[in-house]
Structure 1
Amino acid sequence: MPNSVSRRDFLARFAAAGAVVSASGLLTACGGGGAPTTAAACEGYASVAPADLQIRQTFQYVDQTPNAAQNCANCASYIAPAGEGACGGCKLFAGPVVANGYCTGWAAMPAA
Structure 2
Amino acid sequence: MKDPIDRREAIRRLALFSTAALASQLLPACKSKPSCNDVSGLSADDVRARNDMAGYVEHAPDPAKKCSGCMHYLPGAPNACGGCKVVKGPIDAEAYCRLWAATPS
User: Do Structure 1 and Structure 2 share a fold, with TM-score over 0.5?
Assistant: yes
Residue 54 of structure 1 aligns to a residue in which SS?
helix
**1:90 equivalent in alignment to 2:84:** yes
Q: Which residue of 1 aligns with 2:10?
A: none
Report 1:9-88 matches (<5 A): 28=28, 31-32=31-32, 35-36=33-34, 38-41=35-38, 45-57=39-51, 58-81=53-76, 83-88=77-82
How far did residue 40 of structure 1 move?
1.7
Relative to the length of structure 2, the TM-score reads 0.68
Report deviation, 1:46.
1.4
User: Runs of 4+ in structure 1 displaced over 4 angstroms?
Assistant: 24-27
SS of the residue corresponding to residue 59 of structure 2 reads coil
Question: Which amino acid is the alignment partner of residue 94 of structure 1?
Answer: K
Separation of aligned partners in 2, 1:94 and 1:66:
21
- Unaligned runs of 5+ residues in structure 1 are 1-20
What's the secondary structure of 2:63's corresponding residue? coil
Identity of aligned residues (%): 37
CA RMSD, 1 decimal = 2.3
Deviation at 1:80, TM superposition (A): 0.8
After superposition, give the CA deviation of every residue in 1:74-103 in whole Å (9 maximum; x if it has no partner).
10000111x211100111121111010000
Unaligned runs of 5+ in 2: 1-20
Q: Which residue of 1 aligns with 2:102?
A: 108
TM-score with structure 1 setting the length:
0.64
